[in-house]
Amino acid sequence: MPESHLRRRTVMVTAALVPGAAALTGCKDDPAASGTQGTKGAVNGTTTSPGPAATPTADPAVVAALSAAATQVTQLSQLYATSSRKFPALRAQLAAGAKYHVSHLAKLQETAGVTAQPAKAAAPPTTQAVALSTIAKQEKAAATAHVAAAATLSGAPARLLAEIAASESQLSSTLAPAKTKGAAS
């Protein structure tokens, strides 16, 4: 029975994510492909001005979206660190997610002007189960926010946010306690 339950969940998650992924595959990084200069779509969300001495500048909408994502990733990283310190038995389980978020933050900050706001110090979880549940919920919320932000962008910034969202969604489902997983279906 659990095997069919897992298949149904996989089908439901795939059905929910495939339309968004299909939409993002149409994004182009080549600003020349659109036939206009000064449009979104260049690598790292830069735009160019017409003229021979054009200097790339970061699109404010891209910088804002990536900065918001960087702030969320920073908050998740701090939650992972707090939980790992308080519950050493969880360190191995949380190590991969913590590593991914460090990598995500580095990729987000490759775009000029992207900064992460300092995370608010949250109360540390009281038990291991609460820690895992809290992280899973935060991962899911961040994934939802990043998918929404990706839908408003194009090119490399949209794909970066979609990739981060996919990672967060996967982390959310693997870290959620068993009783939460069953209740979600």
DSSP states of 34-83 as a string? Answer: GT-SS-S-SGGGEE--SSTT---EE-HHHHHHHHHHHHHHHHHHHHHHHH
Segment 48-56 shows an average pLDDT of 44
pLDDT of residue 160 exceeding 80, the answer is yes
Measured over all CA atoms, what is the biggest interatomic distance in the chain, rounded to whole angstroms? Answer: 65
The pLDDT assigned to 35 comes to 39
The domain over range 57-185 is classified in CATH as 1.25.40.10:
no
d(CA 115, CA 62): 12
**Other CB atoms within 10 Å distance of the CB of residue 162:** 24
**pLDDT tier, 153 (very low <50, low <70, confident <90, very high otherwise):** very high
The pLDDT assigned to 57 comes to 57
The domain limits of the chain are: 57-185
What pTM did the predictor assign? 0.67
Segment 30-56 shows an average pLDDT of 44
More confident residue, 146 or 45: 146
Segment 78-106 shows an average pLDDT of 95
Give every CB contact of residue 9 below 8 A, 6+ residues apart in sequence. 185
Name beta bridge partners: 58: 46
The pLDDT assigned to 11 comes to 41
